[in-house]
Structures are given as structure tokens and as C-alpha cells.
Structure 1
């Protein structure tokens, strides 16, 4: 798991599922490779089957699944066991008790759980990003690159039937297959909510490393292949709910609302107070930054950066912060959303290490940077 780079993995997924980047495709503003001209969900129902190569990312995410299952004290609401479309009562397969004051202790009951999964039930872990750091970093990276609110659920089964009938979801989704094989049938008519899939629907067996894009409102059916299988579903809402707010305002005024400009929506997202999970207390109080320190932007959505004659105006988590224009390249690196170690930041930034250290401490104390490790 040591080599897992969540930002790079998210970038590979989105590039693979988006429209192919041609010679005229825009380059990444931070100097990265050309980007796809269309990202999910606009690219529709798309399947990516990667060429053979290292499986570090898949292994790291799968390890996160097993870690979440073994973690005592996780919220009971993070787990569901579904069989034939119905949820099995938690008292059968989960034990909970209150101890140590008001602390709720939960633990899975392996015997019942194993039996249920073997006969075709599906174990669902909701918001896996809250239970494992690797999954959390991937979720954050996807949010920054898609300008979206995202969450990650996990599905584990060992049967050859489906716990869910043909259905559609009210959010866009990316499917990441981690273990075993699973059959996906997806109506290629985006927005089709029919209970009967179209004859030319996508019908594929997903294997580890493969990923699939399923736009919201698209009918699909998922079934096992008789072997242990694990996949992640990244649910996401592009630009959070800004589009819905704009439409609702138009309806209230009785006038049709035009599609909001993406640049305007990105700036509005920067006004949201939502913060990533993470703390900078030790670094903020001591100012210590060493080779193990990992630094990332603290807001859940990308900051909005504007250049003025006096320097930079950075809008993040609803606040405007004025910074020296010499910080432009460093902020461009951090505002991509990935976590950088102190040596990586020193190597890629154009600031002297002493000035960079001062900026990192300022960012930690003012809660727009997260410094951990």
C-alpha cells in the first residue's frame, strides 16, 4: 500500500472513462498530461478495461475493505446485509453494546455473515471513505477533479444471484472492481428508467482493475458469478447541488434558468464551508514539518484563485485569503487536491524551503492546509 497515489489513480480512472484525449486536448494546468475533453457523467455509459500492469491501487483499496470489516466500533449504520431485495435485521449478524460511558461498540458476527454471503446475500458498507484512509484520499481526489460531492460504498457477495432488481440511481456512479468477477447489465440509453433493459444494453463481466461509468437515472442490473466478489461504487453529484438550486430559483421566479457556467459554479463551490477530514494541530502549534509530513488543501472542494495587482486572492471554505503572488505555483500544486509529502513539495515548488515552511505553518494555523504525519 505504500506506493498508492490517490490523486494519480483518480486521474487515470477519469481519463480512461472520459473521451479520449486527442492532440488538441487541454493540458493539466499544473503541467500534467493532456486531459480528456469529456469527463463522466457527460461521456455516458463507458467501460474501461486496463492493460495488464501493477495492481497497487486495487490492492490498497481492497486492503481498506478488509480493514473496515475488522474495525471494532464502526457505526452500525455503515453496514447493511441485503438478501432478495430485503435487508436482514442487524441483530442477526451484528452485536452492539454501550460501554465506557456512552461509547457504542459494534462487531460483526462472522458465522451468520459468512453463511448469508455464501447463499447470495450482499454485504453493503456505506461511506467506506469514513473507515479507511486510502479510500478517503481517493474520494477526496475524485471530488476535486470532478468538482463534485462524492461518497464510496462497497458491495461484497459470493453468490450468483442479485440482491437488487433492475433499478436506477438518482446520482452518477463510477464502479471499481476490486476482487472476483461481477456481471453488469447497463442500459445504454442514458436516463432510461425502464424495468426492462434495452436489447443492446451493455452486458459485461467486470474483473479486478476494470471500471465502469453509470450516469444517474440509467437502469442497470448487477449479479454475482458464484465467487467472492468485491466492488466499490463511487456515487457523486457534479457541482454538489448548485444546478438544482439554480433550476429551483428559476421555477420560483417563473423564468427558465440557463445552464450555469462551470467557472461560476466552481467559484460558488469554493464558498461552501465543507471541510475535509484531518487535523493540523501539532504542526500548527509547533511549526514542525519533516519528511513524513503530508500536506493537502483543507477544503472539501477546490479553492478559487484570482490574481490581482497586489497578489493572489484565494477563496476557500467561504473565506477570502490574500497571499503573495510568489506563492502561485505552490498553491497550484496544493489546490489540485492530492496529498504531498514535505520533500515532494520542496522539490516541485519554486519557493526556498524556509519560505515554504513559513507558508505551510501559516496555512495550518489558519485552517486552509491539513498537515499530518
Structure 2
């Protein structure tokens, strides 16, 4: 989508941010790497060791990184959804909207250069052009909907003529479906762009999940030389019911979301001052489900099940569903003030709620 709006994405990651990270923070591989003309440079050519006990290895050698960038190498900042807070929050909110895992890398390419040759990605991609401009050539897929391990290789054949030839400028966005071949190069300006990867949950994943649930079936634990697996087809058909598939997909998604708590330490101190009139809010970076259990409720998020008794159901559901700030005293239900404080303090400690200062 063309916008030509310089600065539109600077709150996520700016050129100044990249320069600071690379030139003054002792960033270490694999948080960054250098590539040129489709080839990854040897890590030892641009990193060194910072003396400490134990030493910091594979740390950016600023002089060599700058020399390689000036010579045409692209600086790749990797897994920014893990180690750069603005993009961690952005990706989590996008995950909440899409229901799929999201990742992000940044590519800072000097003018007149190319980082990667023609290739495809094994996930859907959103490109956000942060600064400068970049020319993109797009080609029809050679392998439709590749899986994660099915990376691009020249053995797939020769690509055809470009289906699109376009230039992204600051503020522009581009969507690349999984498997579409592409390459990009800079012109007379340096270029910084983000690639937001959206990982699909495929029927291969669903089938693997269904099989993993069958491990308690004795017939499937026998060796294949003992005969057929009795009832396997019917068992798999049952476990591949759309509702069960969606439940497994959702649970795997929830279990794999890491905590994002920029105020985790200060929230522990806020517990000391928390009372029924303290303003609270649901943490925006938490994606969770509230599930019924035989003895109460379970809040499922970040790889955990946090259990609560049935008599706190009304208050817990209100905390789960609330939008905006609220106070424990405002919650519906039959808990007294002490019970409400026990509930919200636990939710703050677990990282589901946060106390609002001021």
C-alpha cells in the first residue's frame, strides 16, 4: 500500500535505533548478522570478544561492521519481537488480532546494494518500509505453500518474468503470501524495512497434533511388524474433528507466547500498596483463555494454567472481560474485600493484570 509517509513506523524501529543498537550496545550474534548478494558473511569477519568473566563472544566489532555495511552488506536485526520492546508489543497485538504467531526482522541495506537473491519465505510476510526506498521484484511461486523446512533452492527450477516491479518508500507496506518468490534492492538511498512474518497452522500440524494424542492407544505403540494398527483411521478422523483441531491450535498458540512485562519489577512493589480502590487494567500483551475445570476455572496463558476456585468465578470473569481501567471494589460477585484483594493481587503477580500508578 503506497503512502510515502516518512516517519510512519519510526515508533517501532527507526534508523537512529538501528545505529544505536549496532554501534553502541555491543550487540551479539545471532541478534544480528550481515548478508551480501544472497550470502551470509562469516560471523568471525565482523564480530569479536569483549573481555569479561565469562567473555562476551560474537559481539559486534563496530569498525568492521561499518566497513562491511559501507561495502554493501545488509545489517539484519533478528527476532526483534523478542528483544526490542516496541516491536514485541506490536507483534503481540497483531497476534491477538490474527490468532497466529508473529515474528519480525529488520533489514538495513546501504544504497545501491542487495542483501538477498531471489527466494521465497515459508510464512506470510508484511513488509513495512521504515526509511529510504527499495525496489521489489515479485515472481510466481515455484513451490506452492512451502512448509517451514521447505526453503527455497535452485533445484526448484528457474523463475519466470516478474509479475510485479514496484518501489516501496517510507511509510509504504507490502503483503507477500507464503511461497511467492521475491528479491529487493536499494537505489540511491539507504533502506530500512521490517518484515513481519505470520506463521500458519497447517493441516500437517493438525495431523501431527492428532497423532500425538494417540500415544496412549496400545495398538499404535506396537511395532509395525506385528500387524495393522486397529482402528487408526477412525481414531484419527475423530481427533481431526474441526473443533478438536482448533482447540489444539489455540492451546499451542497460547502456550508458546512469552511474557512481555516492561514493568515486571515495579509491579511487584505495587502489590505492597494495592487496595480495593487501586486502578487496574488487563495487560495488553497477554493473550489468554478462561476455561472451566471440574473444581473451578483456569486462566490459560504463557504456557501456564492458573487455577481459581469456583466461588471467584464472577469476579474472575469480570477481570478477564474488562476493557479499560477498573477497581476491585467495582467487580461483580460475592467475594468480600479481602477475597477481592487476594484475587487481583494474584492476577497482578501472575502478570495478567497491572496496577496503574498515579
TM-score normalized with structure 2 length: 0.69
1:49 aligns with 2:2: yes
Report the Cα distance in structure 2 between the residues aligned to 1:263 and 1:195, rounded to whole angstroms: 36
CA RMSD of aligned residues (A): 4.1
1:66 — aligned with what? 19
Q: Tell me, yes or no, if the aligned pair for 1:295 and 1:369 is still in contact at 8 Å.
A: yes
**Deviation sequence 1:76-97 (CA, Å, 0-9, x none):** 2212111222222333322322
Q: Tell me, yes or no, if the aligned pair for 1:121 and 1:159 is still in contact at 8 Å.
A: no
* Aligned pairs for 1:262-281 within 5 A: 263-265=246-248, 267-269=250-252, 272=255, 274-278=257-261, 280-281=264-265
Pick the aligned partner of 2:42 from 89, 101, 108: 89
Q: Tell me, yes or no, if the aligned pair for 1:159 and 1:226 is still in contact at 8 Å.
A: yes
1:236 — aligned with what? 198
For the pair shown, the structure with the greater C-alpha radius of gyration is 2
Displacement of 1:285 in angstroms is: 5.1
**Deviation sequence 1:215-250 (CA, Å, 0-9, x none):** 2222111111132111111223134xx743322366
Secondary structure of the corresponding residue to residue 170 of structure 1? coil
1:183 — aligned with what? 135
1:324 aligns with 2:313: yes
Report the Cα distance in structure 1 between the residues aligned to 2:266 and 2:210, rounded to whole angstroms: 47
Q: 1:220 to 1:204 in 2, by over 3 A?
A: same
Secondary structure of the corresponding residue to residue 58 of structure 1? coil
* Aligned pairs for 1:6-155 within 5 A: 48-50=1-3, 55=7, 57-62=9-14, 63-99=16-52, 101-104=53-56, 107-155=59-107
2:217 — aligned with what? none
Pick the aligned partner of 2:205 from 234, 245, 252: 245
Q: Tell me, yes or no, if the aligned pair for 2:280 and 2:355 is still in contact at 8 Å.
A: yes
Q: 1:267 to 1:127 in 2, by over 3 A?
A: closer
1:338 — aligned with what? none
Q: Tell me, yes or no, if the aligned pair for 2:89 and 2:285 is still in contact at 8 Å.
A: no
1:203 — aligned with what? 165
Report the Cα distance in structure 1 between the residues aligned to 2:137 and 2:20, rounded to whole angstroms: 30
1:345 aligns with 2:334: no
Q: 1:205 to 1:264 in 2, by over 3 A?
A: same
Gaps of 5+ in 1: 1-47, 335-343
For structure 1, which segment, 115-124 or 252-261, has the greater mean C-alpha deviation from structure 2 after superposition? 252-261
Secondary structure of the corresponding residue to residue 148 of structure 1? coil
Secondary structure of the corresponding residue to residue 216 of structure 1? coil
Q: 1:306 to 1:293 in 2, by over 3 A?
A: closer
Displacement of 1:137 in angstroms is: 1.1
Q: 1:271 to 1:116 in 2, by over 3 A?
A: closer
1:296 aligns with 2:279: no
Q: 1:185 to 1:330 in 2, by over 3 A?
A: farther
Q: Tell me, yes or no, if the aligned pair for 1:174 and 1:213 is still in contact at 8 Å.
A: yes
**Deviation sequence 1:347-368 (CA, Å, 0-9, x none):** 9x9759x999875422122344
Displacement of 1:212 in angstroms is: 1.6
TM-score normalized with structure 1 length: 0.66
Gaps of 5+ in 2: 147-151, 212-219, 221-231
Displacement of 1:207 in angstroms is: 1.0
Count residues in correspondence. Answer: 309
1:24 — aligned with what? none
Pick the aligned partner of 2:290 from 280, 305, 308: 305
Displacement of 1:161 in angstroms is: 3.6
Q: Tell me, yes or no, if the aligned pair for 1:168 and 1:220 is still in contact at 8 Å.
A: yes
Secondary structure of the corresponding residue to residue 226 of structure 1? coil
